[in-house]
Structure 1
Amino acid sequence: MERLTILGLMLLVLFHVSGEFISNTDAQLMDCLESDRGALLDFKTGLEDPESWLSSWKGSNCCQWWGISCDKAGAVTTVDLHNLSGEIRPSLTKLRSLKHLDLSSNTFKVIPFPKFLGSLENLQYLDISYAGFSGLVPSNLGNLSGLQYLDVSSFGLYVDDLEWVRGLLSLKNLVMDDLSGNSFDSEILDWLVNISSLVTVDLSSSGLHGRIPLGFGELRNLQFLSLRWNSNLTASCPQLFSGRWEKINVLDLASNNLHGKLPSSIGNMTSLTYLDLSDNNVEGGIPSSIGKLCDLKFLCISGTNLTGALPDFLEGTQSCHSRSLLPSLQYLDLSNNQLVGKLPEWLGQVKSLLELDLKFNSLYGPIPASFGSLQNLTGLALGDNKLNGTLPYSLGQLSELSYFDVSFNQLTGVVNETHFLKQHKLRYLILFLNSLMLNFSSNWVPPFQAWTITMGSWSLGPSFPTWLRTQKEISLLDFSNASISDFVPYWFWDEISSNLSYLNVSFNQLKGHLPSPLNISPSADVDLSFNLFEGPIPLPIVGAAGGGVLDLSNNKLSGPIPQNISSSLPNLRFLSLSKNQIRGEIRASFGNMEFLEVIDLSINKLSGNIPASIGNCSLLEVLDLSNNNLSGNIPAYLGKLRFLQTLHLGGNKLSGRIPSSLKNLSSLETLDLGNNRLIGRLPQWIGKGLENLRILSLRSNSFSGELPSTLSNLSSLQVLDLAENLFNGCIPASFGDFKAMTQGKRINRYLFYGNYWGKYYEEKLLVNMKGQILTYTKTLSLVTSLDLSGNNLNGDIPEEITNLLGLVVLNLSQNHFSGHIPISISNMGQLLSLDLSSNSLRGPIPASLSSLSFLGYVDLSNNGFSGMIPYTGHMTTFDASSFAGNPGLCGAPLAVKCPGDDSNKGPVFNENHDDDNFIDKWFYLSVGLGFAAGLLVPYLVFAMRRPWRDSYFRFMDSFAKRISWFGTYRSRT
């Protein structure tokens, strides 16, 4: 909702307080004093007047000049000048009767604060706010003992001491906003609380730190106090509000460091009309004593730590003049807190309420039907809670409602025409992510003309909503994931789309050809992804400014990329054409799109070379050209993309070597060049220049030579995939030093880039896990993998590898490794997939493997292992294929018995017992061994249930993907 009303209410009070100082501007009958006229003309010589405001400064009677007023004797008493520039001259000091000086909102050349103002001894009103002055506010202003109003607000000024304020014996109004150079302790404010005449104190955004003096609450004349946006200013709520605050009308302490619970004594501040405590550390609940604040118009306590439920009832109703609840309250904002419980019925009885904002809490239960009686309500924001039940029909009676948000709740049921019966003024309709179903008649004409409609995740289909045709003023439309399976009607493109600045109809089954050119607003952000659109790629009219987002991914579009894409969308930031059937070459004109942050052309049928001109896209964060038919070398010009974070060129036919210019990509986190035809040694600089690299995939190329030990310098590397190349030699012992792989616990961090209007590129990668290639997205940051399979590596497996305690996947298969499996492999407690197959490893299989409880896949086949398989504990979950091709192995699960094996004395497994019986045995064993009195049972159960174990990562990836997809809606409103 719009928050301009905050400023409006504050200004009304401020103007009321300062109104006594506005001088009479009626034309004076008597000529002004000659000395005053001369002083003004001299003052004018330093001014620059681009708007000709001073054109009236001629003739003998200066009392009739613009911005000048005089007393009955012709002496100048008021100088009120604005929209001027130039220099301010000290000739103003010659105006002996000057009482009112207002030079605010000018653009004087940046000069120090004019000290001569401190000699205007008769001055009662001084406002030089935002006049272009800079530096220290001089202490000689304390000489103005008759000053009643002082405003020195400005971004370029600062105060280092307020002791001089003691000299302002008559001061009623002190305004010092935006003194950006300030950094002083609030103890100097103690000088202020000794000035009993103060009516207004405004020190917003003035760099204060320390405590708020409790003496403010004892100033009997104080009506207006604003200390907002001083984040280091602290106070205890119970102490601060224990004062009398007898006449306080406006109290604005937003964005400070208030802490503690709101005391019930806040209900004693009965003159309050405006209270803002937002963005603090206020705790606890809302005291029921707020019901005593009969004159309160504005209450905002958003973005704090409020907990608990809203009070079931309010105190003091009988004391208000109309004997009604909060009879004056117009704006109530308790958003972004931790409130729980149901919405109390008394909210529907605050008849004067204009805006109610409770979004981003944990409120549950139904929306009270009594809300329909709030006939003055213009804004209702209940989004991002846990509200359930149906939408009450009574909401359709809110004839003044303009903003309506119940998004991201658990509402159910059918919504029909009755819910919007009298909502003629509705402009913002935000209803996405509920389980609601729209049931309008085919000829329904909404009573409103909305600007924003978001109904994502509703059941709107299967037909395209025909009532949308009536919305001629719509600018933001979101019908994503709305079960629409239909052609987009012609009238949408002819009558509606040209007005849109944002269009999202993704995750439906919309079909047919898109019009070309696309009749869309020049600045629109467009998301048509995950549909069934066919035909060529549509673009807006050539020469249009172009929006920030164009996502046509996951459709059936075909044909080439349009030649005029850069001229149609010169300001584009996000472009995704992924997963279509696009052919032809990548246009060199991409280099002309200087604002691009994301280019995703993956999974198409593009051919030809990668144009070097892409190196001109200086803001690019993501370049994904993977899984096409691109050929040629990797352009060296890509090394110019200093903001690039993810580079996917895998799954093409690229050849040659990795250009050394890529070492300049210091921001790079993902480098995927796998499944190409690249050759040469792995450059040493990869381990030196790419310090932020998290993912390095070079699999399925023709790289050769030894593995460089400098790779271990990549402290953030979590996935290293060098499989299916021609590398030889030993694994460097330094590979045990990969810092990110040694961490035993990881926190999931979604890897996405180019976030723009809630649209982002989601990082993805193919990982060889459990003998199959799996795609990871949302849980990718949880995967740590080292895959060196399919090379010509030899020697022993270095014991240092077992230092990688956080490793999830280890694949060293299809090499020429010899020696033994390190005994310390049992240290790798996070290991989920282990593949050492097709090598020349020998000796016994370490019994310690059975302690790796998360291990869901083991392949030790086709080696030279010998002896009895340690078929105990966790190892009993693997079948014979995991150990095949080792002639020296014996024992279960192989059919080969070990010498001296007596099957009658071996373990007996009853085929009639199910898996749960087997797990029960291990339960009692864990208790017997003293493993935390059975606390490890769920852990062991999970480890031994192979179906659960094998699907864990896949399930988590899918679940996280749905949650993240829902989360993208938050940033759109």
Structure 2
Amino acid sequence: METFPFLWIICLLSGELFCGGVAHLAHCNAADRKALLDLKRGLNDSWNRLSSWHGTNCCKWSGIACDNTTGAILAVDLPNSSGLQPLGGEIRPSLAKLKSLKHLDLSGNEFRGKIPHFLFSLVNLQYLNLSFAGFSGAIPPNLGNISSLQLLDVSSVSLNVDNLEWVSCLLSLKYLAMNYVDLSKVGREWIEPLNKLPLLSELHLEFCGLSSFIYSLPSVNFTSLKVLNLQGSFFQAKLPTWFVNISSLISVDIENGGLTGRIPLGFGELPNLQSLKLSYNMKLSASSFQLFTRSWKKIRVLDLSINVLHGRLPAHLGNMTSLIYFDLHNNNIEGGIPSSIGNLSNLQYIDLSLNKLTGSLPDSIGQLKNLVELRLNNNLLQGSIPDSIGNLQRLATLTLSSNKLNGTLPDSIGLLSELSSLDVSLNKLTGIISEAHFHRLRKLVEIILSANSFILNVSSNWVPPFQVIVLHMGSCHLGPSFPSWLRSQKQVKVLDFSGAGISDSIPNWFWDMTSILARLNVSFNSLEGHTPNSFNITPYAGVDMSSNQFKGPIPLLNVLLLDLSNNQFSGSIPENIGQAMSSLTFLSLSGNKLSGAIPTSIGQMSVLDVFDLSYNNLAGSIPSSIGNCSSLTVLDLQNNNLSGGIPKSMGQLTGLQTLHLSNNQFSGEIPSSLQNLSKLETLDFGNNMLTGNLGSWFVEAFPHLRILSLRCNNFYGKLPLALSNLSSLQILDLAENKFNGSIPASFGDLKAMGQEQTVGDYLRYGTIDENHYYQENIRVVMNGLELQYTKTLFLLTSIDLSGNHFYGALPEEITKLVGLETLNLSRNHISGQIPKSISEMRQLLSLDLSGNMLSGPIPQSISSLTFLANLNVSNNDLSGMIPSANQMSTFNASSFAGNPGLCGDPLAVKCPNDSNNGGDNYPDGGGKADQADNGNGFIDKWFYMSVGMGFAVGLLIPYLVFAMKRSWGGVYFAFVDGTAYRLSSEKMKAAMRRRNRSTR
């Protein structure tokens, strides 16, 4: 409720007062003074708010107003609206002796107990405000006896009402507020007593627990109602029809009301409606919304945001000519923006963001001469930005980001002299941006052009007319020189020049303007030279200078985020880095030329979240002080020359989620203290000299592991059965160790490998803002190639147990891993047969069973693995015909070599029952001589050449195909088969038909 000056309210309620302070000329009567003094004795006034309550003339006391003629007390005004210490204590019955009292305000205090029952005796009371005064329990129904009451506010989180019938007696009531009062027991009849109040102008029942209502009333009697606020109810029902019969309504607010279904059509006929807020409801029909708006002439504010509205904007949207505020953001609105929107000449605010709007921006949008804000971001809009947008001379905010807009940025934007925020990022815009685009933009403080293909072409001495605060030009071409016009900007707090094609050194004057920067991103350029050892910048800043060519020592900056990765910084890490950069939460020095040891002072970086020193030349051991970095979630030290044992203190990093120590020279056993790292999701110790047996604790300690890599170490012993309990495990790499025993059949229970993967949050750690995070990564060996996965890591599922001493049969249960993409069991002592159920592993890209003791046939069902791009079963004891259907025909003979019992293509050994055993055995009676006579030598050459090409293509293309879309794999192999069919001779066709018959 709006707060009015105290004496002004009294003037309204009483015609007997002279306004302007002369009310103090009266002298209060002794009975009223005695009642007030007794009231004071009951109050707890620790801040002496009532210090003026002394002397004989109580009309001069703070919060008291009197009748100028009789001296009777008319008002007791003691609200706590100024943040002062609230009054407490009790309200004594002596208050009821103020028989002339018209105004009583005790709001915002901390009284205890129930609302005093004796208030009903104040029969002349017109204004009663007890909101949030500390009272609790039921509101006394005898308040209904105060028939003169015009304003009643009993809003409170600790009051309740079981029945509202008493309100119907307040026939003079104009304003009723019961916000947060528990009305859940009143039932659906709550509207009936209110319908008996003919003078009621405002009704506020916010968050009262109302859950139902009478859908239609026989008649509507509160014909003066202008403001209706029911937000935060739990109706879960349609909007009642009686709303549309209240012709006096100006404002309706039922946000968070749980409404469903159609908006009653009669709403469009309410002559005075200016504001309708139905946001955050359930499923209001957009088709109803279209009907709803046809006769909507007087509405000023339309807010239907976050309603899960669907459908299209009505073509007759332009009929809402009085509309000022149009908000439908965060729904599922589809289709285009109708051109009739240009008829809304009074419109000042449009927010249609976060929908599914398509089509182009209508040229008529330039007719909205009063428009101040235009937000259309996060839609599917296409086409160009119309030149007419330059007509919007009052426009202050233009947000078109995250669409599919193309074309150029119109020069007419430079005419928007009131524009303060311009955001067209994340589109497909191109072309040159010149000085004309900023011609009159003197008020511009936010420019966001990132993720487009703009080229900034301005003169070297250009001085922009604006003083910008936020400047995002990432991916816009600004180079090759560092932008000299930036020197004129004195208020920049956020600067993003990432990927801007700048191949220059940063000028000295730039370091003088960094003192107010909160965000600096110049990554992915070709910036060179040395950076200052330190420069002034705000302590909460984020600095990203990664992927450039900076040299020299590491600068020491006391900021929150510092990313200097992928540069040419050299020398050792400063010994005092822990003291100088104690506020860091994100530090990446990866991919530089750093040498020396990791300083012990890192233990003083207690708030560090991400610590990445990977891909350098660091030596020595990990300092034990690392255990003091208690906030770490990511520690990446891979690809250095670190040695020694893994420190036991690392077990103190209980929040750690990613631990990369691979490709170093660590030795010894894994300390048991690491079992404290129960949140670990990535454990990468590959390519070291670690040893030991994997005890049961090793698996049980890490229930959330997704990536486990111990490859190329000296681990030994049997695999713990508890490995199968790692339900999130996607990558298991134990290759090149000394493990033995059989492969556990329980591997078939690895849950994450038994289903296709979806994107997981574990891929990004240490996010400091929406644009900067640590990217999880891992290297996986596939077909002899070491591949690094980062952004597509969520797609990969892999098991590599190669180069160990496993023996026994290949368990059939492993074929239950239908989401597995890479399986490498090569160079072990595995015996038995390849399970026929191998065909269930439909996602396999690579299967390597070479160098084992497998026997029996290759199952014909393996031909159904249409994604299979790499197969190696060489050097076993397999026998029988090699399956030749589908992609199996693309594999080279080396895939099957070293199996004396195998026969058929691509091996030179023919199977005994194969009729295609020589040139004279073609089914059509032709022989080799016929080939020459018929001129088919070219086709044979093409065929054998295609087999060789097929080997190469079969290796490489499916990887790319799979990376784009799995379902294309089948299309690819169908294309290969179809092309061979069209180009082959009749003899080749017959051979292919025979091959197909044998596989069926």
Normalising by structure 2, what TM-score? 0.84
Unaligned runs of at least 5 residues, structure 2: 209-231, 967-1000
Q: Identify if the C-alpha distance between structure 1 residues 401 and 819 changes in structure 2 by more than 3 Å, giving closer, same or farther.
A: same
What are the equivalent positions in structure 2 for 1:444-593 lying under 5 Å apart?
444-494=462-512, 496-540=513-557, 546-593=558-605
Partners of 1:45 and 1:942 lie apart in 2 by 99
CA deviation after TM superposition for structure 1 residue 164, in Å: 5.1
Q: Does 1:795 align with 2:808?
A: yes
The answer on whether the counterparts of 1:779 and 1:953 sit within 8 Å (CA) in structure 2 is no
CA deviation after TM superposition for structure 1 residue 818, in Å: 1.8
AA matched with 1:26: G
Q: Identify if the C-alpha distance between structure 1 residues 227 and 587 changes in structure 2 by more than 3 Å, giving closer, same or farther.
A: farther
Of 943, 951, 959, the residue aligned with 1:950 is 959
The answer on whether the counterparts of 1:621 and 1:644 sit within 8 Å (CA) in structure 2 is yes
Partners of 1:240 and 1:919 lie apart in 2 by 73
The answer on whether the counterparts of 2:870 and 2:954 sit within 8 Å (CA) in structure 1 is no
AA matched with 2:468: A
Q: Identify if the C-alpha distance between structure 1 residues 18 and 461 changes in structure 2 by more than 3 Å, giving closer, same or farther.
A: farther
Q: Does 1:97 align with 2:119?
A: no
Partners of 1:482 and 1:868 lie apart in 2 by 58
Report the more deviating stretch, 516-525 or 899-908. Answer: 899-908
Partners of 1:879 and 1:556 lie apart in 2 by 43
Partners of 2:376 and 2:162 lie apart in 1 by 40
Partners of 2:157 and 2:479 lie apart in 1 by 54
Partners of 1:13 and 1:88 lie apart in 2 by 26
Q: Does 1:426 align with 2:444?
A: yes
Q: Which residue is 1:780 aligned to?
A: 793
AA matched with 2:757: R
What are the equivalent positions in structure 2 for 1:368-387 lying under 5 Å apart?
368-387=386-405
AA matched with 1:85: P
Q: Identify if the C-alpha distance between structure 1 residues 260 and 900 changes in structure 2 by more than 3 Å, giving closer, same or farther.
A: closer
CA deviation after TM superposition for structure 1 residue 894, in Å: 2.3
CA deviation after TM superposition for structure 1 residue 587, in Å: 3.3
CA deviation after TM superposition for structure 1 residue 572, in Å: 2.5
CA deviation after TM superposition for structure 1 residue 413, in Å: 1.3
Report the more deviating stretch, 190-199 or 692-701. Answer: 190-199
What are the equivalent positions in structure 2 for 1:147-226 lying under 5 Å apart?
147-153=149-155, 165-177=167-179, 187=188, 190-191=191-192, 192=194, 195-204=197-206, 207-210=232-235, 211=237, 212-226=239-253
CA deviation after TM superposition for structure 1 residue 874, in Å: 2.6
More relative contact order, 1 or 2 (CA 8 Å, 6+ apart): 1
CA deviation after TM superposition for structure 1 residue 296, in Å: 3.1
Q: Identify if the C-alpha distance between structure 1 residues 642 and 245 changes in structure 2 by more than 3 Å, giving closer, same or farther.
A: farther
AA matched with 1:108: E
The answer on whether the counterparts of 2:268 and 2:294 sit within 8 Å (CA) in structure 1 is no
Of 621, 629, 641, the residue aligned with 2:633 is 621
Q: Identify if the C-alpha distance between structure 1 residues 683 and 421 changes in structure 2 by more than 3 Å, giving closer, same or farther.
A: same
Aligned length: 908
The answer on whether the counterparts of 1:197 and 1:221 sit within 8 Å (CA) in structure 2 is no
Secondary structure in structure 2 of the residue aligned to 1:247: coil
CA deviation after TM superposition for structure 1 residue 68, in Å: 3.4
Partners of 1:947 and 1:420 lie apart in 2 by 49
Secondary structure in structure 2 of the residue aligned to 1:491: helix
Partners of 1:747 and 1:130 lie apart in 2 by 49
CA deviation after TM superposition for structure 1 residue 99, in Å: 3.1
Partners of 2:578 and 2:872 lie apart in 1 by 51
AA matched with 1:619: S
The answer on whether the counterparts of 1:729 and 1:794 sit within 8 Å (CA) in structure 2 is yes
Q: Identify if the C-alpha distance between structure 1 residues 380 and 793 changes in structure 2 by more than 3 Å, giving closer, same or farther.
A: same
Partners of 2:114 and 2:633 lie apart in 1 by 44
The answer on whether the counterparts of 1:770 and 1:856 sit within 8 Å (CA) in structure 2 is no
The answer on whether the counterparts of 1:733 and 1:801 sit within 8 Å (CA) in structure 2 is yes
AA matched with 1:200: E
Of 285, 296, 299, the residue aligned with 1:260 is 285
Partners of 1:266 and 1:575 lie apart in 2 by 55
The answer on whether the counterparts of 2:90 and 2:111 sit within 8 Å (CA) in structure 1 is no
Q: Which residue is 2:898 aligned to?
A: 885
The answer on whether the counterparts of 1:301 and 1:333 sit within 8 Å (CA) in structure 2 is yes
Q: Which residue is 2:980 aligned to?
A: none
AA matched with 1:842: S
1:708-764 CA-to-partner distances (Å, cap 9, x unmatched) read 111111111111111111111111111111111112x33344621222212111111
Secondary structure in structure 2 of the residue aligned to 1:810: strand
Partners of 1:189 and 1:491 lie apart in 2 by 69
Q: Which residue is 1:26 aligned to?
A: 21
The answer on whether the counterparts of 2:502 and 2:525 sit within 8 Å (CA) in structure 1 is yes
Partners of 2:393 and 2:111 lie apart in 1 by 52
AA matched with 1:772: L
Q: Which residue is 1:317 aligned to?
A: none
CA deviation after TM superposition for structure 1 residue 56, in Å: 4.4
CA deviation after TM superposition for structure 1 residue 879, in Å: 0.5
Q: Identify if the C-alpha distance between structure 1 residues 366 and 50 changes in structure 2 by more than 3 Å, giving closer, same or farther.
A: farther
What are the equivalent positions in structure 2 for 1:737-776 lying under 5 Å apart?
737-743=749-755, 745-749=756-760, 751-758=763-770, 759-776=772-789
Partners of 2:941 and 2:828 lie apart in 1 by 36
1:315-347 CA-to-partner distances (Å, cap 9, x unmatched) read xxxxxxxxx943432222121111122222332
1:27-68 CA-to-partner distances (Å, cap 9, x unmatched) read 412123444444444555566768765554444433334443
The answer on whether the counterparts of 1:537 and 1:562 sit within 8 Å (CA) in structure 2 is yes
Partners of 1:69 and 1:754 lie apart in 2 by 61
CA deviation after TM superposition for structure 1 residue 912, in Å: 4.3
Q: Which residue is 2:328 aligned to?
A: 301
Partners of 2:395 and 2:811 lie apart in 1 by 71
AA matched with 2:400: L
Normalising by structure 1, what TM-score? 0.86
Report the more deviating stretch, 759-768 or 73-82. Answer: 73-82
What are the equivalent positions in structure 2 for 1:20-59 lying under 5 Å apart?
26-28=21-23, 29-44=25-40, 54-59=50-55
Of 401, 404, 409, the residue aligned with 2:419 is 401
The answer on whether the counterparts of 1:163 and 1:188 sit within 8 Å (CA) in structure 2 is no
Question: What CA RMSD, in Å, does the superposition of the two structures yield over aligned residues?
Answer: 3.5
The answer on whether the counterparts of 1:553 and 1:578 sit within 8 Å (CA) in structure 2 is yes
AA matched with 1:96: K
CA deviation after TM superposition for structure 1 residue 309, in Å: 1.3
1:504-523 CA-to-partner distances (Å, cap 9, x unmatched) read 11111111111111322222
Which structure would you say has the larger Rg?
A: 2
Q: Which residue is 2:846 aligned to?
A: 833
Report the more deviating stretch, 33-42 or 850-859. Answer: 33-42
Q: Which residue is 2:984 aligned to?
A: none
Work out the percentage of aligned pairs sharing the same amino acid.
51
Q: Does 1:352 align with 2:355?
A: no
Q: Identify if the C-alpha distance between structure 1 residues 94 and 222 changes in structure 2 by more than 3 Å, giving closer, same or farther.
A: farther
The answer on whether the counterparts of 1:307 and 1:340 sit within 8 Å (CA) in structure 2 is yes
Partners of 1:68 and 1:229 lie apart in 2 by 40
Partners of 2:116 and 2:506 lie apart in 1 by 66
The answer on whether the counterparts of 1:942 and 1:949 sit within 8 Å (CA) in structure 2 is no
Secondary structure in structure 1 of the residue aligned to 2:309: strand
The answer on whether the counterparts of 2:128 and 2:152 sit within 8 Å (CA) in structure 1 is yes
Partners of 2:90 and 2:343 lie apart in 1 by 56
The answer on whether the counterparts of 1:201 and 1:225 sit within 8 Å (CA) in structure 2 is no
Partners of 1:163 and 1:615 lie apart in 2 by 67
CA deviation after TM superposition for structure 1 residue 914, in Å: 10
Report the more deviating stretch, 905-914 or 672-681. Answer: 905-914
Q: Identify if the C-alpha distance between structure 1 residues 225 and 736 changes in structure 2 by more than 3 Å, giving closer, same or farther.
A: same
Secondary structure in structure 2 of the residue aligned to 1:841: strand
Report the more deviating stretch, 185-194 or 204-213. Answer: 185-194
Partners of 2:252 and 2:158 lie apart in 1 by 23
Report the more deviating stretch, 248-257 or 698-707. Answer: 248-257
Unaligned runs of at least 5 residues, structure 1: 1-9, 315-323, 541-545, 922-940, 958-973
Q: Identify if the C-alpha distance between structure 1 residues 383 and 824 changes in structure 2 by more than 3 Å, giving closer, same or farther.
A: same
The answer on whether the counterparts of 2:316 and 2:340 sit within 8 Å (CA) in structure 1 is no
AA matched with 1:781: F
CA deviation after TM superposition for structure 1 residue 693, in Å: 1.6
What are the equivalent positions in structure 2 for 1:523-922 lying under 5 Å apart?
523-540=540-557, 546-743=558-755, 745-749=756-760, 751-758=763-770, 759-899=772-912, 902-904=917-919, 905=921, 912=938
Q: Identify if the C-alpha distance between structure 1 residues 473 and 658 changes in structure 2 by more than 3 Å, giving closer, same or farther.
A: same
AA matched with 1:87: G
CA deviation after TM superposition for structure 1 residue 503, in Å: 1.0
Q: Identify if the C-alpha distance between structure 1 residues 801 and 573 changes in structure 2 by more than 3 Å, giving closer, same or farther.
A: same
1:266-292 CA-to-partner distances (Å, cap 9, x unmatched) read 354544332221111222233355544
